[in-house]
Amino acid sequence: MMMFRNLRFALNSAWQSFWRNLAVSLAAVLSITLILILAGVNLLVGHALSQVLDGFRDKVSVISINVADDTPLASVYSYQTQLSADPRVASVRFITKDEALANFAKDPNNAVLAQQLDGNPLDAKLEVRVRNLSDVASIDAVARQWSGVDPTNPTNYQGDFVRRMLQLSQWLGIAGVGLLAILVVVSVVIVMNTIRTAVYHRRKEIEVMKLVGATEWFVRGPFVIEGVMTGLIAASIALSLLVIAYPPAVAQFRSDIAFIPLSYDPTFLASLARDLLLGGALLGAVGSYIGVRRFVRL
């Protein structure tokens, strides 16, 4: 019962104080909004890049093992089964010589060349899709040991590209985390100072609260709730702006840099909303907690 009354008191006084010190409250909302927009853009760009990377990764995580013409079919099938059992392998597809030729001929770039071909010089192949991009090289090494492989041209995969892709995605991940960390530190400092200004305006009230025997949490509660409110309002504003700006930004990017397959992903918005609201509430709460600390200590 007493908890409930205290909570009601805290909610009431947080709400009142937000409106009473509107200028300071708005300054806090504005700074958190700006930070959350930056964080949101960071998340969106990160997500877009990882989408693009996933697209590439899908294409490069395939290695084809060329089968020598004299290999018996039974041996190919048994090797296919053996590969499928490997935990690193996602799937193995057998492409016969005829299919390989048909695929080759399908590409309009090869049309002229295909007509001039005598017989079928193409190998049959096992197309292995690995689960993890970094396993491509090890699968390649294994495949080269197989007796049925074409010794003149054993395997095909984009090795160098794979390595660079892995490096790039690693660096981008680190950069994104670093940027987020900096944003968090900067924003906590800003919020803390904004809230401290708000608290400074009300130090007399805090003094009276302490003199009549309010506990530290009783004094702190309203400020922390006010901080959470501020953070949630800021997060809502930032989120709305990002949701509005996201599709046209993607469209613009695609018309400018067509070769990077950036796409609009509405499902990501739900997780963005969750992150921003949670982040805003947390920033407000932590900022308030630290901001009010100096004044609350008995």
Partner 1 sequence: MVLTPDFDSRPVISFQHVWKRYPSGTEALRDINLVVPEGDFVFLVGPSGAGKSTLVRLLIREEKPTKGKIFVEGVELGRMKRRKLPYYRRKIGLVFQDFKLLPNLTVYENVAFALRVLGEPDRLVQSRAAEALDTVGLAGKEQTYPSNLSGGEQQRVAIARALVHAPRMIIADEPTGNLDPATAWEIMQLFLRINSRGATVVMATHNREIVDLLRRRVVAIDAGQIARDDRSGRYHDDVSKPQIRAQ
Segment near partner 1 (CB under 8 A), from 31-39, 147-155, 159-167, 209-217?
209-217
Minimum distance of partner 1 from residue 215's CB (angstroms): 5
Minimum distance of partner 1 from residue 17's CB (angstroms): 9
Phi first, then psi, for residue 64 (nearest 5°) are -105, 135
Among positions 2, 85, 112, 258, the unique one binding partner 1 when judged by CB under 8 A: 2
Three-class SS state of 297: coil
Segment near partner 1 (CB under 8 A), from 41-49, 79-87, 202-210, 258-266?
202-210
Among positions 145, 213, 256, 270, the unique one binding partner 1 when judged by CB under 8 A: 213
Among positions 127, 150, 205, 275, the unique one binding partner 1 when judged by CB under 8 A: 205
Among positions 20, 59, 93, 294, the unique one binding partner 1 when judged by CB under 8 A: 20
Minimum distance of partner 1 from residue 30's CB (angstroms): 24
Minimum distance of partner 1 from residue 213's CB (angstroms): 4
Environment class of residue 59 by beta-carbon count within 10 Å: exposed (0-12), middle (13-18) or buried (19+)? exposed
Tell me: does residue 234 bind partner 1 (CB under 8 A): no
Phi first, then psi, for residue 212 (nearest 5°) are -90, 5
Q: How far apart are CA 285 and CA 192, in angstroms?
A: 9
Which residue in this structure is represented by tokens 């953070």? 231
Three-class SS state of 260: coil
Tell me: does residue 9 bind partner 1 (CB under 8 A): yes
Residue 114 amino acid letter: A
Q: How far apart are CA 127 and CA 123, in angstroms?
A: 12
Question: What's the residue count for the chain?
Answer: 298
Stretch (H or E) spanning 92: strand 89-95
Minimum distance of partner 1 from residue 6's CB (angstroms): 5
Tell me: does residue 11 bind partner 1 (CB under 8 A): no
Minimum distance of partner 1 from residue 8's CB (angstroms): 10
Q: How far apart are CA 165 and CA 134, in angstroms?
A: 10
Tell me: does residue 204 bind partner 1 (CB under 8 A): yes
Contact indicator for 90, 139 with CB cutoff of 8 Å: no
Tell me: does residue 10 bind partner 1 (CB under 8 A): no
Tell me the two tokens of residue 70. 């004299």
Interface positions with partner 1 (CB under 8 A) = 1-3, 5-6, 9, 20, 204-205, 207-216, 218, 297-298
